[in-house]
Amino acid sequence: MALPTAHSLRRAGDWSGAADAVTLTYEARFLRRKVLTTARGERFIVDLPQTTSLNHGDAFKLSDGRLIEVIAAKEPLIEITGPDLPRLAWHIGNRHMPCQIEPDRLLIQRDHVIRDMLEKLGATLRDVSERFTPEGGAYGHGRTHSHAH
């Protein structure tokens, strides 16, 4: 029996009534073609027209019409606080690190080199496990990129 296929997405807030869900990390939420397994153990094929950045609350639309909700997985992150968040954010961005920017804190994926740099800059750091939704790239591209772009 052929696996159901998702050729399209519904963006968060633009749908209701998911039949199931799939939990994905930040890295896994950037895909074009892949076999995924839902929370209930059903496998399906994602075959999107182009590589796409998925957000928490988006949904895959399967060939049979069902919707599979995308849940952002909790991930090991570093919470960054301190008196000069804009300066700390600049240093993180200068290293092309994905960063979730909030009014009173920044979140990044754990990295011992960046941790050391931030400590030397006077940041207060705490290991946390949360959903990671970093700021998208400039010009509407949705993801930040390394120097190899």
User: CB of 130 within 8 A of CB of 77?
Assistant: yes
| pLDDT tens digits, 17-42 | 999 999 999 999 999 999 999 999 99
Amino acid at 83: P
| pLDDT tens digits, 81-126 | 998 999 999 999 999 999 999 999 999 999 999 999 999 999 999 9
**What is the dotted CATH code of the domain comprising 75-136?**
3.30.70.790
User: CB of 96 within 8 A of CB of 80?
Assistant: no
Class of residue 76 by CB neighbours under 10 A (exposed 0-12, middle 13-18, buried 19+): exposed
Given CATH 2.60.260.20, say whether it is the number of domain 5-72: yes
| pLDDT tens digits, 43-81 | 999 999 999 999 999 999 999 999 999 999 999 999 999
| Domain residue limits, the chain | 5-72, 75-136
